């Protein structure tokens, strides 16, 4: 499995940096975002280091599909019932800050809509 020793998500996957895990198997780690944008905000990360969606190959199809199927299950387990948002930022113009593919999954009431 590919690993980048300088990548913060690779360090989280390796257990070198703590995280509040939601799910883990051989392929994917899901954990709560440390700077949430919604009441429930988790990150789904493939354990194999893939820097960006630009670097995805057919070999990555299964793990990316697993992440898409896993997201609604985890949101339901976390009590999200009114829908959720899935976002993958890609590259500098796409707002990617950590260069390890990750999917933000955000749910719960959106406080900025109140008023």
Does the pLDDT of residue 2 top 90, yes or no?
A: no
Q: Is residue 95 part of a domain?
A: yes
pLDDT tens readout for residues 40-93: 999 999 999 999 999 999 999 999 999 999 999 999 999 999 999 999 999 999
pLDDT of residue 109: 75
Q: CB under 8 Å to 79, separation ≥6 — which residues?
A: 40
Dig out the tokens for 82 from the structure: 């009114």
Exposed e or buried b for every residue in 36-65, given b needs 16+ CB within 10 A? Answer: eebebbbbbbbbbbbbbbeebeeeeeebbe
pLDDT of residue 4: 86
Q: Which domain holds residue 24?
A: 8-113
Q: Is residue 2 part of a domain?
A: no
pLDDT tens readout for residues 75-89: 999 999 999 999 999
Do residues 56 and 2 lie in contact, with contact meaning Cβ atoms separated by under 8 Å?
Answer: no
Q: Is residue 3 part of a domain?
A: no
Global pTM reads 0.92
Count of domains forming the chain: 1
| Active centre residues (catalytic) | 102
Q: Is residue 1 part of a domain?
A: no
Q: CB under 8 Å to 35, separation ≥6 — which residues?
A: none
Query: Which CATH number belongs to the domain containing residue 93 in this structure?
Result: 3.30.428.10
């Amino acid at each position: 499995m590919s690993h980048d020793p300088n990548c913060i998500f690779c360090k989280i996957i390796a257990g070198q940096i703590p995280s509040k895990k939601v799910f883990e198997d051989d392929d994917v780690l899901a954990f709560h975002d440390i700077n949430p944008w919604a009441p429930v905000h988790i990150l789904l990360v493939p354990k194999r280091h893939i820097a960006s969606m630009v670097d995805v190959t057919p070999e990555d199809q299964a793990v990316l599909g697993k992440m898409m199927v896993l997201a609604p299950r985890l949101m339901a387990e976390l009590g999200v019932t009114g829908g959720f948002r899935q976002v993958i930022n890609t590259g500098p113009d796409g707002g990617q800050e950590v260069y390890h593919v990750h999917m933000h999954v955000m749910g719960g009431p959106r406080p900025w809509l109140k008023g």
